[in-house]
Amino acid sequence: MPPPIVQLPICHPHDIEGVALNLTNKLLSCKDILNDVVLHIHTTAVTQRRYTRSLALIVKLMVDDLFWRNSDLYVTVQDEIVDLAVATFTDYWLATLDCVPKEHRNPVEPSYVDPLAICAFIGDLSSLGLLSFGMFEMSALLLIFNMKTRLHLQCLRTLFSHAGAHATDEMSSFFLYECMDLVKARCKRHLRIFTVEEQQFRHVLNHIIYRDPREYFPQFWDKRLNVEEALMASVCVGVRPSTQSQAS
């Protein structure tokens, strides 16, 4: 049997559960640290691409735990994480794709954001049900309508690989075919040749379309990963979008 076309690396499940429980308990004991916790998770996710799935799982566990403990914080944590991720994705691509004049850009420093990491994180949040399909679609189409390079194709493949980990009704064959057609037109205009990156992108989307509904992209324990060390090494480096961007 051939290996799955996409495998999602994660830290040891016990470590993920331990970090989620620790952060949840800290939030319940002191709500004032909410912004710090959210920004810490976010900064680690958008700068260290190997940890996006683990961090999204941590957020999912925190939200579920807070819900079962009858804490209203579960809504706030989910909204803060999702809003910050989408705002960073939007601001990053608007800046790097030159979609808006420099004087009108929000103060996100693109050099601090790993484009593959922010795409993976958006996809992970979507596949775990933390980010709505509407917000995922908006993010995906922003990149598709402006893609010009092979790196952009790699980012799109990453975005859909992580978002399509599990079958959902929202990610329909109609939507995926439309995305492939749009990407094909952009590639024809800007790349002019059929690239390996486009082939890989189409392969992932075709697999999502035709796979058995019970099939999914598996997670695997990467023994090299340590989520606690990743969080400790992460430094808040000015990736928070402006309040204007979040409001929009």
CATH of the domain at 167: 1.25.40.180
In a domain, 167, yes or no: yes
Q: Which domain holds residue 170?
A: 8-215
- Which residues, other chains included, contact 242 with Cβ-Cβ below 8 Å and sequence gap of 6+? 91, 106, 107, 108
In a domain, 221, yes or no: no
In a domain, 247, yes or no: no
d(CA 224, CA 47): 17
- Per-residue b or e along 105-144, where b marks 16 or more CB atoms closer than 10 Å to that residue's CB: bbebeeebbbbbbbbbbbbbbbbbebbebebbbebbebbb
pLDDT of residue 238: 47
**Continuous H helices in the chain:** 13-29, 34-47, 52-68, 73-96, 115-127, 133-146, 150-163, 173-190, 196-210, 227-233, 243-247
How much is the pTM? 0.91
In a domain, 72, yes or no: yes
pLDDT of residue 115: 97
**Mean pLDDT of residues grouped by 10 in the chain (248 residues)?**
81 98 96 94 96 98 97 96 96 84 60 93 98 98 96 98 93 96 95 89 96 91 96 66 44
Q: How many domains does the chain have?
A: 1
In a domain, 82, yes or no: yes
Which two three-digit tokens encode residue 108? 């996100």
In a domain, 228, yes or no: no
In a domain, 2, yes or no: no
- Tell me the three state secondary structure of residue 199: helix
In a domain, 92, yes or no: yes
